[in-house]
Amino acid sequence: MHDRGSNLAVSDLVLAGIICLAAAGYWAWDGSVWDRQAKSAPPAPSTAARKNHFNDDGFRLFSASDYDGAERQFRRAIQADPKDAVAFCNLGAALIAQRRFDEAMAALHTAVVLDPSLALARNNLNWAIEEKAKSWK
């Protein structure tokens, strides 16, 4: 026979397992956890179909860790097409990489407004908010 203490320990483990499954279910439903970039590296610019060569040039510069150069190219992409959500998303990524969180949040907010289905923009916006909060500590 089991004593009362071991029964409580088993029920605590079962409860903990249920909580973990509920959390995993929420994260799967939310979707952002699975799409979020690794926290150790700057968020990658979007590889979605780009409408102009400025996004391509910016992506190459970003990949080479030239975030300032990438920012310039992404701003040119926005000038060429002010409704290009991907360009705003990419600009936000370059600004996060430079730790310019307020500017990044503004660019990423614009990307989300222009294209609410662009998950990378929402994820990077959340990341910019988190990183800014960490920088205040």
Taking residues 29-34, what's their average pLDDT? 42
Its pTM surpasses 0.85: no
Contacts of 99 by beta carbon, 8 Å cutoff, 6+ apart: 131, 135
Q: Chain-wide mean pLDDT for the chain? A: 76
- The tens digit of pLDDT for each residue in 48-64 reads 544 578 988 999 999 99
The dotted CATH code for 35-136 is 1.25.40.10
* 63: enclosing H helix or E strand: helix 53-63
The answer, yes or no, to whether residue 136 has pLDDT greater than 70, is yes
| HSE, side-chain direction, 13 A CA sphere, residue 126 | 13
Q: What angle do CA 132, 136, 102 make, to 5 degrees?
A: 35
What angle separates helix 85-97 from helix 67-80, to the nearest 10 degrees? 160
Domain boundaries, the chain: 4-30, 35-136
Q: The tokens of 130 are what?
A: 């988190």
- The tens digit of pLDDT for each residue in 55-107 reads 889 999 999 999 999 999 999 999 999 999 999 999 999 999 999 999 999 99
The answer, yes or no, to whether residue 2 has pLDDT greater than 80, is no
Q: What angle do CA 105, 30, 45 make, to 5 degrees?
A: 40
pLDDT of the residue at 10: 45
The answer, yes or no, to whether residue 36 has pLDDT greater than 50, is no
